[in-house]
Amino acid sequence: MTAGTAAPDVDALRSLAAEIALEAGELARRRRAEGVSIAATKSTLADIVTEADREVEQLIRDRLDAERPGDGFLGEESGGDPGTTGVTWVVDPIDGTVNYAGGFPTYCVSIAAVAGGDDPDTWSALAGVVHAPVLGELFTAARGHGARLGAVPLQVSTENPAGALLGTGFGYDPATHDGDLATVRRVLPLVRDLRRMGAAALDLAYVAAGRLDGYFERGLKPWDFAAGALLVEEAGGRFERLVEPGSARRMCVAGSAELVADLVERIRAVP
Ligand code: IPD
């Protein structure tokens, strides 16, 4: 917080994020029903942005500007603005864009409020919401106040006697796929089964809800995990971004503390 600024009311931030995520999700769902149009490709041909990603992010940004002028913003599609209040909103308007474009229901709006700037290594997440409009689910969390699905409190799973049900994902750059597959091979002995849902924020919300025991993925961007990481932590779990010499694509790992420790050991094992 800047000097003299009162500590933010994290429940109010959660409520505002939830209200805006519901509006944004409705816009995304409506635009999808009208037909999707690919606006551009980003890092690789597989990394797409639709017109709806841009329109939904603009809606979120406009609503936040109106409700909380002066807050910072970091969005997947429109970039950053540091703001003046010490609170920054980190937004993925449509996480799971490839699912969205392909007509899969597993996409979501992800909105987080963080304190301390837009660097995930130093920020402290205050509130986060993940809303999957087609699934009709709203996951919310506020720092120190727990995580919920609707009104139901969430708790990460701690028992997985048949092995862990894990989510994962692969980056859009084909050059990274061999490394990702080598990681999967090292992790498989811990696993009951693997899911690749295609929306990192939703994967993390599912870990918070105990649907997935854990999750790992290399190379996520801040807007992919800002809200989901807080959901996991507030549901009693752990979220880590590993620092690995020689790799700029940081590995994110989530789950119970015990599972995360086991996953990290496997991920770091020399092949
Ligand atoms: C992507 C999804 C995907 C993950 C990618 C992300 P986007 O986000 O979360 O599951 O594997 O790493 O970039 O591009 O759909 O917002």
The residues facing 40 across adjacent strands are 49
List, for residues 35-71, the tens digit of each pLDDT value.
877 777 777 666 667 889 899 999 999 999 999 999 9
53 backbone dihedrals φ, ψ, rounded to 5°: -55, -45
pLDDT of 269 reads: 85
Percentage of the chain beyond pLDDT 70 is 96
The model carries a pTM of 0.95
Coil/strand/helix, residue 215: strand
pLDDT of 44 reads: 66
Q: Is 234 exposed, middle or buried (0-12, 13-18, 19+ CB in 10 A)?
A: buried
Contacts of the segment 79-85: beta carbons below 8 A, 24+ positions apart: 80/118, 82/117, 82/118, 84/2, 85/1, 85/2, 85/5
pLDDT of 123 reads: 96
Q: Which residues line ligand 1 (CB under 6 A)?
A: 76, 92, 95-97, 169, 171, 198-200, 217, 220, 224
pLDDT of 248 reads: 79
Residues 114 and 5: their CA atoms lie apart, in Å, by 15
Ligand 1, residues 41, 224, 241: which to mutate, most atoms within 8 A of Cβ? 224
Q: Is the pLDDT of residue 2 over 60?
A: no
34 Cα–ligand 1 center, Å: 23
Question: Is the CB of residue 52 less than 8 Å from the CB of residue 42?
Answer: no
List, for residues 103-132, the tens digit of each pLDDT value.
999 999 999 999 999 999 999 999 999 999
270 Cα–ligand 1 center, Å: 27
Q: Is the pLDDT of residue 270 over 90?
A: no
pLDDT of 57 reads: 96
Ligand 1, residues 212, 220, 250: which to mutate, most atoms within 8 A of Cβ? 220
pLDDT of 5 reads: 63
Ligand 1, residues 45, 48, 95: which to mutate, most atoms within 8 A of Cβ? 95
For tokens 């997985």, name the residue.
Answer: 160
Q: Is the pLDDT of residue 3 over 60?
A: no
Coil/strand/helix, residue 109: strand
List, for residues 179-229, the tens digit of each pLDDT value.
899 999 999 999 999 999 999 999 999 999 999 999 999 999 999 999 999
Percentage of the chain beyond pLDDT 90 is 78
Amino acid at 50: T
Tell me the average pLDDT across 231-252.
92
Q: Is the pLDDT of residue 265 over 60?
A: yes
Residue 172 DSSP label: S
3 Cα–ligand 1 center, Å: 36
Residues 135 and 15: their CA atoms lie apart, in Å, by 20
pLDDT of 9 reads: 96
Helix ranges (DSSP H) in the chain: 10-34, 51-67, 97-102, 177-187, 200-208, 222-234, 257-268
Helices and strands (DSSP H and E) totals, the chain: 7, 15
4 Cα–ligand 1 center, Å: 38
Residue scoring higher pLDDT (76 or 262):
262
100 Cα–ligand 1 center, Å: 11
Tell me the average pLDDT across 69-75.
97
Q: Which atom of ligand 1 is nearest to the CA of 201?
A: 9
Which residue, 70, 88, 57, 258, is CA-closest to 156?
258
pLDDT of 37 reads: 73
Which residue, 228, 29, 31, is CA-closest to 128?
228
